[in-house]
A and B are shown apart, each in its own frame.
Chain A
Amino acid sequence: MDKNMPSIPKRIGAIKFGLISPREIRKMSVTAVITADTYDDDGYPIDMGLMDLRLGVIDPGLKCKTCSSRAGECPGHFGHIELVAPVIHVGFNKMIRKTLRAICPKCSRLMLDAAKKADSLEQLAKLKKMGHLPNSHINEIYKEAAKTKTCPYCYDADGNPTKKTVIKFEKPVEYIENGDKLTPSEIRDRFENIPDEDVRVFGMDPDNARPEWMILTVLPVPPVTVRPSITLESGQRSEDDLTHKLVDIIRINQRFQENRDAGAPQLIIEDLWELLQYHVTTFFDNEVSGVPPARHRSGRPLKTLSQRLKGKEGRFRGSLSGKRVNFSARTVISPDPNLSINEVGVPLPIAKQMTIPVRIIERNIDLMRMYVARGKETYPGANYVIRVDERRIKVTDLNCEELAEKLEVGSTVERQLIDGDIVLFNRQPSLHKMSIMAHNIKVLPNKTFRLNPCVCPPYNADFDGDEMNMHVLQTEESRAEAKILMQVQENILSPRFGGPIIGGIHDHISGMFLLTRNEKFISKNGALELLRKADIRELPEPAGHNEDGAPYWNGKQIFSQILPKGLELEFPAKVCFQCETCKKGDCENDAYVVIKDGELIKGTIDENGIGAFKGLVLDKVVKEYGTTVGAKFIDDVTRLAIRGVMRTGLSFGIADEDVPPEAKIEINDVMDKAVEEVQDLIKAYEAKELEQLPGRTLAETIEMLIMQKLGKARDSTGQIAGNHLGLENSAVIMAKSGARGSMLNLTQMAACVGQQAVRGERIKRGYSQRTLPHFAKGDLAADAHGFVKASYKSGLNPTEYFFHAIGGREGLVDTAVRTSQSGYLQRRLVNALQDLEVQYDRSVRETRGVIVQFKYGEDGIDSTKSDYSKPEAVHRIVRAVTGKEVN
């Protein structure tokens, strides 16, 4: 076929699976292979050898004797080996066992009565019509037939129905009937006698799969193209593992033949037969349990057919589902808050290595000449030139000048990456669409990819050594598509919950919190320093003047500068104290955010304002002003917040967990009281005075009450610690603003670690009736069942430490199990759903056009475009347009 002619895509009507028959093997074979040798002394393939020219060609210059094509064009052709005696195909050993056990040893009929067979055939037809798999039904048939004790169709010498024999199966290919080994020939004879009607009851189509074809009498020899030999540098030929295996098979086959013809004793024949079976078995699968793997001279196990297909590196998972790609790079990532979220910092060595093809037209020829003239060492240069005649020429220091000169319209230059080029950026595991996004590159020194920390949440990345991949797009179409659909700013809102998945994290949140809450007196210099990267041309009216008459601004004003004009928003901040009735704008904790016309009037900006997942200001800006303004806002927030956190300063050390002595006393009192109360509960329980809770036994009741009591005690110690530390403490700031950590973390560090639990219960395992040998049997006290009174700061005593390790391990096991399980679940879901597509009429259909949903999501809503489907959104629009309140 002309290689320039486009191939016509064809629709696959059906795929039929079956067993290959000996007849078919011989029919498709171009030659019988009878000699175990490959090449003669001149290096020419031997006729009817394993490299016979009719099996295809791999040496350039030789012509295939079957199709007369040259190497590369000849697809290869099968040959065959006539086996002297039949052997079992290991791949079917279980199937052979099942079949042997289901048929009569004498007449070979399926051991079920006629009515049962008819019924089963009917069932099979029905399942086929419904498009269901017949597997479970067929297994039932096998099971039932195996249970039948006597043959319904034939009789033994005494005139009684033939009795079923017991067939023992010894892995991988031995079948023992009443103590005697069944030879493959015997098994094959039995299978041959199974009538076609019975084969159908097994769910097989006798035209495409007769059971006796599971026992090989002739072996197909794969084409040479499947097992090419390689010529080593020394000129020596090295054959493929499959060829080695085939050599073994042919040798034994020949010896077997000779011995049998010479009338060798039965013992020798049996040995040779077993040897032939071994070689054929390992030819198919060299990792069968119970069979020593065939090895290379060097001791390396051979890679035979199964090993080529199986596993991660196998044909399916390694070559078909996933492949290695060109134009990709991988390195460690690190943060750079000065980059835009749409950018990625690319190390110079990578930018010099990777290229984008540029087709030369009259308008860019001068520019491209400059790239080529610089060569590949002077950045930005070009690495390859593809001439009009499609020759690909490497740009070197020597030829760059000349190549630049000779450049003409129609040729292509592969130029190095420059700032602004669009690339795909990816971090595994790629669990959702935001795991691969398009970034504009920024070429930077050093060796890591740099990214704005705001894009960490969608990639689930951190900088403890994570690596990421970059793919350089090669066509205009792909670049356009990437820009429109995959650019980071187009993915700020996640379709999962309709809110921002990209936004402030950690220091951005503490920074904004400190800036908008505490910073009240910012001088002109300070204000300009904070805003210097934000494209602000003038400062607002100052909040006031100090004694010297110098103007000052507050943090809220500074933050307002990066808000888009006209933004209206009200919401409770993360620090909200959850008062009984919210005073909204009059909140005395400054925890209710009011934004009017792009001006932060009241409240603190924290996680609920600019955080990833929760940032309401972010959400509103993106939905109301579009993705470009949204991206700019996030960029400004990162830079302002980082400068904000540096202005106030935020540090955290072990001294930050210090609580004053009076708080320590208070905490100890609470703990002592709780432990005492637990003792009272236990006394009441032992005196059988405890009131049983509904639906629980007395033992469960006391457990629950103790857990509750201790839980409450821990919480109140936490509160004591929190109150004494106050909102000045950096841990409290981070917890309350939502930047990092929780009040529970702080409680555990400063006050009390609390109850350790396994499966939600106090720790009970260990010795009989006690967790450790130094506790009294049946002791229910807090410390005997994993209550840790100490804090991490004060340190745990040995028993506490031990219980903590128990509780901690459960968490680790949990995560390990959960990730593997959810990974598999995800795979299955994706496999089932990957071909579904939303059509232009908004219906969701699979590939055959069968409708799955009549409207996407049954409501046709794109969650990233809707304001959480709340009627308030409409009210707000009406208010904005008409100026009237609606309800």
Chain B
Amino acid sequence: MRKFSLLDHNSVPKHEIIQENEVKSLLDKYQIEKGQLPKIKQSDPVIKELGASVGDIAKITRNSQTAGESLYYRLVIDD
């Protein structure tokens, strides 16, 4: 059993699974289907730790020198 969380690592940006309503507003905002989002494998260490299931959408908050914070979304897929 691992005794630390990957999410605490300085170089790992914040990952979170977003709720249904947020998913809807995201898809509405970009006028896309879920399949048009960038993907992330379920076996990705961070996703494994979050315990996300296939079809969930991970919101990734990255630090940016120019934008302060930048948001990225990934659809969790089977591997």
Contacts and interface: CB of A to CB of B under 8 A. Distances in A.
Interface stretch (A139-147, A587-595, A842-850): A842-850
A860 B72 CA distance: 13
A849 B66 contact: no
B18 interface: no
A620 B32 CA distance: 40
Given A851-B37, A854-B72, A854-B73, 7 more contacts: A848-B36, A850-B36, A850-B37, A854-B30, A854-B71, A858-B67, A859-B67
Interface string B62-78: 10111100111100000
A860 B73 CA distance: 16
A859 B62 CA distance: 11
B38 interface: yes
Interface in B28-75: 29-30, 32, 35-38, 62, 64-67, 70-73
Given A841-B30, A849-B32, A855 B70 contact: yes
A869 B66 CA distance: 6
Contacts of A851: 30, 32, 36-38
A130 B35 CA distance: 13
Contact of B67 (A849, A850, A861): A861
Residue of B36, B71, B73 contacting most chain A CB atoms (<10 Å)? B36
Report the 5 A-B pairs with minimum CB-CB distance, sorted nearest first: A859-B67, A859-B66, A858-B70, A850-B36, A869-B66
Contacts of B30: 841, 843, 851, 854
Contacts of A861: 66-67
A226 interface: no
Main secondary structure of the interface of A (DSSP, over half): loop
B62 A858 contact: yes
A401 B37 CA distance: 66
A130 B77 CA distance: 10
Nearest to A130: B79
15 contacts: A841-B29, A843-B30, A845-B36, A849-B32, A851-B30, A851-B37, A851-B38, A854-B70, A854-B73, A855-B67, A858-B62, A858-B67, A859-B64, A859-B67, A869-B66
Nearest to A859: B67
A788 B70 CA distance: 54
Contacts of A370: none
A852 interface: yes
A148 B64 CA distance: 55
Contacts of B36: 845, 848-851
Interface of B: 29-30, 32, 35-38, 62, 64-67, 70-73, 79
Contacts of B35: 850
A427 B32 CA distance: 40
Contacts of A849: 32, 36
Interface residues of A, number: 17
B64 A858 contact: yes
A127 to B, nearest CB: 11
Interface of A: 130, 841, 843, 845, 848-852, 854-855, 857-861, 869
User: Which of A130, A849, A854, A860 has the most B CB atoms < 10 Å from its CB?
Assistant: A854
B72 A858 contact: yes
A855 B71 CA distance: 9
Contacts of B38: 850-852
Contacts of B79: 130
Contacts of B72: 854, 858
Contacts of B32: 849, 851
B69 to A, nearest CB: 10
Given A841-B30, A849-B32, A854-B73, A860 B37 contact: no
Contacts of A841: 29-30
Nearest to B37: A851
A60 B37 CA distance: 55
Contacts of A854: 30, 70-73
A799 B2 CA distance: 63
For B67, B71, B79, the residue with the greatest tally of chain A CB atoms inside 10 Å of its CB is B67
Contacts of A843: 30
Contacts of A848: 36
A858 B71 CA distance: 8
A860 B35 CA distance: 23
A841 B66 CA distance: 19
A759 B29 CA distance: 54
Which of A848, A859, A861, A869 counts the most B-chain CB atoms under 10 A from its CB? A859
Contacts of B62: 858
Contacts of B67: 855, 858-861
B54 to A, nearest CB: 13
Nearest to A855: B70
Nearest to B29: A841
Nearest to B72: A854
Contacts of A858: 62, 64, 67, 70, 72
A845 B65 CA distance: 23
Nearest to B33: A849
Contacts of B73: 854
A130 B79 CA distance: 8
Nearest to A868: B66
Contacts of B71: 854
Nearest to B38: A851
Contacts of A857: 66
A848 B37 CA distance: 11
A594 to B, nearest CB: 29
A307 B38 CA distance: 41
Nearest to A841: B30
A868 B71 CA distance: 22
A562 to B, nearest CB: 33
Contacts of B37: 850-851
Contacts of B64: 858-859
Name the residue among B62, B66, B73 with the largest chain A CB count within 10 angstroms: B66
Nearest to A869: B66
A125 to B, nearest CB: 13
Nearest to B71: A854
A848 B67 CA distance: 27
A841 B26 CA distance: 13
A358 to B, nearest CB: 43
Contacts of A860: 67
A845 B37 CA distance: 10
Nearest to A866: B66
Contacts of B70: 854-855, 858-859
Nearest to A848: B36
Nearest to B70: A858
A439 to B, nearest CB: 33
A858 B67 CA distance: 8
B23 to A, nearest CB: 14
Nearest to A860: B67
Nearest to B77: A130
A849 to B, nearest CB: 5
A305 B64 CA distance: 54
A552 B65 CA distance: 50
Nearest to B31: A841
A869 to B, nearest CB: 5
A758 B32 CA distance: 56
A851 B70 CA distance: 15
Contacts of A845: 36
A849 B70 CA distance: 21
A851 B73 CA distance: 10
A225 B70 CA distance: 57
Contacts of A855: 67, 70
Contacts of A130: 79
A850 B73 CA distance: 12
